[in-house]
Amino acid sequence: MRALRSVRAWLRDAPAIPFLILGLIAFAAVFADFLAPHDPQFGKLSERFLPPFWIERGSTAHIFGTDHLGRDVLSRLIFGARVSMVVGFTAVIVSGVVGTTLGIVSGYLGSWADQIIMRVTDAWLALPALTFAIFLAAIVGPSEMNIVIILAAVYWTRYARIVRGEVLSLKEREFVRLAIVAGCSKWTIMRRHILPNVINSSIVLATLMLGIVIVTEASLSFLGVGVPPPKPAWGVMLADGKQGLMVGHWWLTVMPGTCIMLMVLAANLLGDWLRVKLDPQLRQL
Partner 1 sequence: MRQFIARRFGYSLLSLLLLSLTIFLFIRLTGDPTSLLTEPGATEADIAAVQQKFGLDKPIWVQYAYFMGSLIKGDLGESFYYQTPVLELYLSRLPNSLMLATVAMAFSLVLGIPTGILAAVKVGRFWDSAGKLFALLGLSLPSFLVGLLMILFFSVYLEWLPSSGSGTFLHLLMPAFALGWYFAAAHMRLTRSSMLEVMGSEYIKLARLKGLTETRVIVKHAFKNALIPVVTLAGINMINMINVAVVVETVFAWPGIGRLLYEGINFRDFPVVQGVVIIGGSMIVVVNLLVDVLYALIDPRIRLEK
Q: What residues make contact with partner 1 under the rule CB under 8 A?
A: 119-120, 122-124, 126-128, 130-132, 134-140, 211, 215, 218-219, 222-225, 238, 241-242, 245-246, 248, 250, 253-254, 257, 260-261, 264-265, 268-269
Q: Which is nearer to partner 1, 157 or 202 (CB)?
A: 157
Nearest CA to 98 among 146, 171, 139, 154? 154
Asked whether the beta carbons of 134 and 142 are under 8 A apart, the reply is: no
Minimum CB–partner distance for residue 111 and partner 1 (Å): 16
Give the nearer residue to partner 1 in terms of CB position, either 178 or 261: 261
Query: CA-CA distance, 194 to 200, in Å (whole number)?
Result: 11
Nearer to partner 1, 248 or 280 (CB): 248
The strand pairing partners of 59, in sequence order, are: 62
Tell me how far apart the alpha carbons of residues 261 and 49 are, in angstroms, rounded to a whole number. 23
- Residue 66, CA distances (Å) to 35, 74, 83, 86, 179 in order: 17, 8, 20, 25, 63
CB of 76 to partner 1, least distance (A): 17
Nearer to partner 1, 161 or 193 (CB): 161
Q: Taking a C-beta distance cutoff of 8 angstroms, is the pair 91, 152 a contact?
A: yes
Q: How far is the CB of 249 from partner 1 (least distance, A)?
A: 10
Nearer to partner 1, 55 or 123 (CB): 123
53 vs 250, beta carbon nearer partner 1: 250
Nearer to partner 1, 50 or 239 (CB): 239
